[in-house]
Amino acid sequence: MDRIRHDARRFDRDETADILDLAGELEARMPGDDFDLGRSDIYRIAAELGISTEIVDRAIRELDRTQRSDAKESRRSVRRRMRFLRHALAYAITVAILAVVDVLDGGGWWFYYVAAIWGIALALHALRFATRRNGPLERRLMES
């Protein structure tokens, strides 16, 4: 068993919650046997911390709701990414075909107009994709 350290420092409720959250994350990263706890085990641990079973039940419901919401947002994000990639692929293929047709037709270079107008639309789509709420740009900024 780990040696318990005693000192005079006191922690408020928020600090205690932060310490226990971080300790749980650190424990989860440690190599070793994974374990699963049942609801009764969680109730027992919560009781030792002075947390009621009603609060534990509410936290479990909130966690379930958050996980469902995260899964739904993840599916939405994949659909958005695929929509943008299909748009970019259609642009590249179409502009390439139009360029070949234009060159074979004698080279009036009219395909530049199509490429430019559609390119602006694609750039706006890319901007909307990258800057949306919880989008790639926001996630990258939050990480730094």
Residue-wise pLDDT for 57-94, tens only, equals 998 899 888 888 888 888 888 898 899 999 999 999 99
> Is 110 inside any structural domain?
yes
Tell me how far apart the alpha carbons of residues 40 and 45 are, in angstroms, rounded to a whole number.
Answer: 9
Q: What is the mean pLDDT of residues 120-130?
A: 90
- The string of pLDDT tens digits covering residues 1-44 is 455 666 778 888 888 887 887 777 777 766 665 667 788 888 88
Count: domains in the chain: 1
3 state SS of 8: coil
Residue 119's closest CA among 131, 109, 127? 127
pLDDT the model gives residue 10: 84
Tell me the one-letter amino acid at 36: D
Tell me how far apart the alpha carbons of residues 124 and 131 are, in angstroms, rounded to a whole number.
Answer: 10
> Is 11 inside any structural domain?
no
pLDDT the model gives residue 1: 44
> Is 28 inside any structural domain?
no
Tell me how far apart the alpha carbons of residues 48 and 34 are, in angstroms, rounded to a whole number.
Answer: 22
**Residues 6+ positions from 34 with CB-CB distance below 8 Å:** none
Q: Which domain holds residue 51?
A: 34-143
DSSP 133: T
> Is 9 inside any structural domain?
no
**Angle at alpha carbon of residue 90, lines to 87 and 93, rounded to 5°:** 150
Tell me how far apart the alpha carbons of residues 21 and 35 are, in angstroms, rounded to a whole number.
Answer: 17
> Is 48 inside any structural domain?
yes
